[in-house]
Amino acid sequence: MRIGFIGTGIMGRSMAGHLLAAGHSLHVFNRTRAKAEPLVERGALWHDTPGDVAAACDVVITMVGLPTDVEEVYFGGPAAVPTGQGIIDRARTGTVLIDMTTSSPMLAERIAMAAGARGLEALDAPVSGGDVGARNAALVIMAGGDRETFARVQPILGLLGKSITHLGPAGAGQRCKLANQVAVAIGMVAWCEALAHAQAGGLDPAAVQQVIAGGAAGSWALTNLAPRALAGDVAPGFMVKHLLKDLAIARECAAATGIDLPGLATGERLFTIAAEKGWASDGTQVLYRLYSPSEGLRQRSSSPRP
């Protein structure tokens, strides 16, 4: 098939590479062309606008950074995409649009409505698994939109992920991903505090990590991100600033439904502190640095309550 891929960053580059390796004709656009060059060297076709990609393809996948970026590539916008050069402006009737960015459920619904009005089909299909999942084609994919459309493109999604689930109508994939991000944030705080507690008690946190990762406290992050943190490796598989974006959307959606999520509030507060320290573009595992003696978080957090 002729597949367009817009957004060839940390995760998108690997994801697009799997489609190319499977023999599909790959058409690419990225705001910074240099990030797409490795794919072009392998045979992908470069286009100057998202609209040009859409006009050439049967399926268009987007994997960009922020909801504002999603809005620009789909509808056009002054910052990066000329008016009339958005995906929805140029896509041909019957084209399937798949946004795999973590974004707003309301924006996903808006895209689906605009796509339907032009004879296009749209899915929101955000992913979990970070850079490791993207490289290994082992992402967890959660989709919203028409079930028949989902079934048609499931073989394509199967090249990118190991777990692919249809959750409901437009926006359902994004709502599931927000639930995932709430769990991610709280889980990150949990293993950071567990290992900081162990180290403060005189234990080797690396040894403790290996022990508890195999028990009831085990998680993907404890297994994959905690060793990076302990080694001082904060290279981003998923950036702090992007998690904060997701948590802000989750908080807004929670407020709209009238639910109080104190764990989410704690996670958002701690990652905000990390961003304020200049770590916004580091991987989320940098949170563990907050618990080092030099940062003083342990002393402040452990102060007795009045």
Pairwise CA distance, residues 109 & 174, whole Å:
10
pLDDT tens per residue, range 175-216: 999 999 999 999 999 999 999 999 999 999 999 999 999 999
Residue 154, in any domain of the structure: yes
Give the angle subtended at the CA of 254 by the CAs of 249 and 258, to the nearest 5°.
150
CATH number at residue 164: 3.40.50.720
Cite the active site residues: 177
* Host domain of residue 131: 2-170
Q: Against a cut of 0.85, is the pTM above it?
A: yes
**Separation in Å, CA 18 to CA 13, 21, 39, 110, 219:** 9, 5, 10, 29, 26
Residue that is last in its domain, among 137, 170, 203:
170
Residues 146 and 111 in one domain: yes
Residues 64 and 23 occupy one common structural domain: yes
C-alpha–C-alpha distance, residues 134 and 18, integer Å: 9
Q: Indicate which CATH number applies to the domain containing 189.
A: 1.10.1040.10
* Residue 243, token pair as written in the block: 């998690």
Query: Does 124 share its domain with 189?
Result: no
**Domain closes at, from 152, 170, 188:** 170
50-87 per-position pLDDT tens digit: 999 999 999 999 999 899 999 999 999 766 677 788 99
Same domain flag for 119 and 225:
no
Domain limit, last residue, from 123, 141, 170: 170
Question: For residue 306, is it within any domain?
Answer: no
pLDDT mean over 296-303: 53
Q: Do 11 and 134 belong to one domain? A: yes
Work out the pLDDT band at 227, boundaries 50, 70, 90. Answer: very high
Could you tell me if 267 and 290 lie in one domain?
Answer: yes
228 within some domain: yes
- Based on the fold, state whether residues 86 and 108 are members of the same structural domain: yes
Same domain, 204 and 264: yes
